[in-house]
Structure 1
Amino acid sequence: MTRLKGEDEVVELCRDLIRIDSTNAGDNAGPGERAAAEYVAEKLAEVGLEPRILESDTRRANVVARIEGEDPGREALLLHGHLDVVPFNAGDWTRHPLSGEVADGCVWGRGAVDMKDMDAMILAVVRQRLSEGRRPPRDVVLAFTADEEAGGKYGAQWLVERHPGLFEGCTEAIGEVGGFSVSIGEQKRLYLIEAAEKGIAWMRLTARGRAGHGSMLNADNAVTELAEAVARIGRYEWPVRLTPTVRAFLEETSAALNLEFDPDNAEATVAKLGPLARMIGAVLRNTTNPTMLDAGYKANVIPQEATAHVDGRFLPGYEDEFFQTLDELLGPNVTREFVYHDIAVETGFEGPLVRAMADALVAEDPGAHAVPYTLSGGTDLKAFSRLGIRGFGFAPLKLPADLDFSGMFHGVDERVPVDSLQFGVRVLDRFLDQS
């Protein structure tokens, strides 16, 4: 097999990107993405593209470029990746999260799996193809965005609202959190392709009561009212709801495991997925997790107000049920307001683009079997879907069977195998030829 230059370059591209501090704590006070955006733009310009750097705020930078395809009359394809990463405590890591160190066959650092690995794979494939004069079958738009880790206000959302013309003709997209392998025995691997995302409802809950002295009787205590509501929400067992994507995943996985799928006991199938069960188990139902509490200013003063925050996630098609149930759990004396609210998305797992992903995987891994799955979190796809773009999570990685890949998203000692990066370059190159 002829070795692509992109396979060699992808490791250095990934290391370079990791070394650029683009942490995003959600307060718009970090280093921003400008340095990473300039790096990406330079790499694209070197192979003849004309990338645009668009700043939504000071140092909050996005990069967009278009590659002209062989048939510009066809609908365009969007490849998107974000440049920001979540914060870290370097003291908790085995190797410094901004080192980009290569050790034990992996590239280490914050963003190695979320998602500077995919950014590097896109850059490597594009640079290889354009240096060889190989244009894609149709126009390809590249978008490297800011602020995905805080909802995309300065990134994909801003681009969609302010610069929708940059995505003219785009009807399909691929992005993060999909295309990675889960081993089923020695010779077979499921590759999970994201076809759906849960919606997001980050909420602030408020209870108001009567302030007073802590030594006196008070039947109108805001802390008590709030605590009872938070406990009801946190302990509520949401019913299992099998959306089309979740059902398809469980059926495919059961078949691969030689199990009979029982839709009345979906959790039994999920339990056999090892570490992946944390991610997949969360998409069997809506979820509401209390995350913050705040009340009072002195031990002997009953406060007039108490607040809490809840991270709510709802399945595609179940948003109305989610909020109706939530309001019942809150009770009449606790109000809610959104800190952040975004849609759920879901698309069918069929059509030429799905076949292109599946065929590219099998060509590089004969034991590959592509299956759709639902992401419990959210990505920039939510924003791009508002332009009518149908998207998938497809950042292809063939992973060692014993690597807890899902556990490294936002985790400690984030790392990606070198072989996996190189595999991803080969798959993406084939995918572009077939897309």
Structure 2
Amino acid sequence: MTAAENEVVDLCRDLIRIDTSNFGDSSGPGERVAAEYVAASLAEVGIESTILESETGRASVLARWGNQDSPRPGLVIHGHLDVVPAQAADWSVDPFAAEIVDDYVVGRGAVDMKDFDAILLAVVRERQRAGRIPDRPILLVFTADEEAGGQLGAHWLVAEHREWFEGCTEAIGEVGGFSTEVGGKRLYLLESGEKGIAWLRLTASGTAGHGSMRNHDNAITHLARALVRIGEHEWPVEPGPSMLLLLEKVRELTGLEGTPDELLEHFGPAVRMIGSGLRNSTNATMAQAGYKHNVVPGEAVAYVDGRPLPGHHETFVSRVQDIVGDGVRVEPYHEDIPLEYGFEGDLVDAMTVSLLKHDPEAHVAPFLMSGGTDAKAWHKLGMTSYGFTPLRLPGDLDFTALFHGVDERVPIDALQFGTRVFDEFLDLA
């Protein structure tokens, strides 16, 4: 067993035990303690890093590594340090204790994404000790605030510290490289794009009055009708290049035909994430109205998480307005662009070969991710980004349910597999 395989579990557990819950308003503990842990782990093997804070405690870590004199363009390898909050009462174990249960590391961030932070640290530390430095410039970036859109993390770094990224043309990050099973065969999914973000505010106005009286202009009723329309709306299937390649791979593995939705049902529960890449989506997430039981309010507000496909971002808000109809105003309060990159080139080859080297019977295909990552920030600098956190998973594990889920966990042998694959990747990238 390599040094990286030996220490990756401890690194992952240490990171999980550092609570970096991000509530979206800087009320949480921040990332500073985790950033210091990462910086110390790199310093221990002679890699100098810099901690940058966008606000007090909101810390990101950057370190130059690899052959900085190489004429090759730079590669950004990034992970985020923050996690979504966890309600401890819902969990079977303390979400920040990083307990090992049935050969899984359990804790908030085990999947999203302190697993990859640990894999990256373990591999970099092993290679640095052995003098196996990649022959291209590498920028290691561990960011703050990804779980709230990255305005205090990756986007802030791009706006305020662009000089760190000079010469970097490609990036590797989260939510790709994990395995699933289709047609009895193992398939690794590489993220070659991600949907956009269109977080929307819906506002309904009406006539305020006494709750005991007839009221045909009730703002809450208007809003409720709009939310039902959104909930019942069937967005059309409009797959882009990544999803078309994935559908073709499913046909190959199963030997079956069918509609795109029927083909993706072969992924089982994972279809909740993977199937989202076929169409735009809208989900109501919050509602606010009223201030007293017997008072009809004059306004009601709801929030909708919208995710447009690449090529649909510019028209998405107007399409949602058409769905809800007159009487309810739809406006964005946070937007970010969708991304999609060609599934080709040296970086894609390096990811594919490194996976197949350590799992020769497997298959590889791209997919469009339902959520967003820090790749949206790197895109502003013209970088091509892919998701590549290599994990070989049990076929019966409902992995996609663990993102932001209760009892989030990652198999120990998947972490160790990830170090082997990522070490191979760095030789090829």
TM-score normalised per structure 1: 0.96
Paired letter, 2:362 = A
Deviations 1:394-414 (A, max 9, x none): 000011111111111111111
Q: Measure the CA separation in 2 of the matches of 1:230 and 1:402.
A: 35
Deviations 1:24-59 (A, max 9, x none): 111211111000000000011111111000011111
Report 1:125-144 matches (<5 A). 125-144=123-142
Q: 3-state SS of the aligned residue for 1:43? A: helix
Counterpart of 2:210 (choices 198, 210, 213) is: 213
State the shift of 1:185 in Å.
5.7
Paired letter, 1:400 = P
Counterpart of 1:190 (choices 181, 187, 192) is: 187
Q: Name segments (4+ residues, structure 1) moved above 4 Å.
A: none
Deviations 1:53-72 (A, max 9, x none): 00111111000001132752
Counterpart of 1:405 (choices 390, 399, 409) is: 399
Q: Residue in 1 aligned with 2:151?
A: 153
Report 1:4-403 matches (<5 A). 4-69=2-67, 72-184=70-182, 188-260=185-257, 262=258, 265-403=259-397
Is the contact made by 2:204 and 2:299 (CA closer than 8 Å) also made in structure 1? yes
Q: 3-state SS of the aligned residue for 2:367? A: strand
Tell me: CA distance 1:185–1:223, structure 2 relative to 1, closer, same or farther (3 Å). closer
Q: Measure the CA separation in 1 of the matches of 2:20 and 2:422.
A: 25
State the shift of 1:320 in Å.
3.3
Deviations 1:251-292 (A, max 9, x none): 1122112223x4xx1111111211111111222111111122
Tell me: CA distance 1:134–1:208, structure 2 relative to 1, closer, same or farther (3 Å). same
Paired letter, 1:210 = T
Deviations 1:280-334 (A, max 9, x none): 1222111111122222222332211111111111111112342232111232322
Q: Measure the CA separation in 2 of the matches of 1:297 and 1:97.
A: 35
Percent identity between the two aligned chains: 58
Is the contact made by 1:195 and 1:245 (CA closer than 8 Å) also made in structure 2? yes
Q: Measure the CA separation in 2 of the matches of 1:101 and 1:209.
A: 52
Q: 3-state SS of the aligned residue for 2:242? A: helix
Q: Measure the CA separation in 2 of the matches of 1:371 and 1:148.
A: 26
Q: Measure the CA separation in 2 of the matches of 1:293 and 1:105.
A: 40
Q: Measure the CA separation in 2 of the matches of 1:228 and 1:106.
A: 44
Tell me: CA distance 1:185–1:105, structure 2 relative to 1, closer, same or farther (3 Å). farther
Q: Measure the CA separation in 2 of the matches of 1:16 and 1:368.
A: 32
Q: Measure the CA separation in 1 of the matches of 2:344 and 2:194.
A: 17
TM-score normalised per structure 2: 0.97
Is the contact made by 1:204 and 1:336 (CA closer than 8 Å) also made in structure 2? yes
Is the contact made by 2:191 and 2:369 (CA closer than 8 Å) also made in structure 1? yes
Q: Measure the CA separation in 2 of the matches of 1:105 and 1:219.
A: 59
Paired letter, 2:150 = G
Q: Residue in 1 aligned with 2:413?
A: 419
Deviations 1:207-236 (A, max 9, x none): 122222234343433222222222212211
Unpaired segments ≥5 residues, structure 2 = none
Q: Residue in 2 aligned with 1:431?
A: 425
Paired letter, 1:333 = G
Q: Measure the CA separation in 2 of the matches of 1:337 and 1:364.
A: 48
Tell me: CA distance 1:184–1:209, structure 2 relative to 1, closer, same or farther (3 Å). closer
Paired letter, 2:350 = A
Tell me: CA distance 1:293–1:70, structure 2 relative to 1, closer, same or farther (3 Å). closer
Q: Which moved more, 1:238-247 or 1:349-358?
A: 238-247
Tell me: CA distance 1:70–1:311, structure 2 relative to 1, closer, same or farther (3 Å). closer
Unpaired segments ≥5 residues, structure 1 = none
Q: Measure the CA separation in 2 of the matches of 1:39 and 1:73.
A: 32
What RMSD, in angstroms, separates the aligned Cα atoms of the two structures?
1.4
Paired letter, 1:166 = W
Q: 3-state SS of the aligned residue for 1:282? A: helix
Q: Measure the CA separation in 2 of the matches of 1:318 and 1:254.
A: 27
Q: Measure the CA separation in 1 of the matches of 2:395 and 2:226.
A: 42
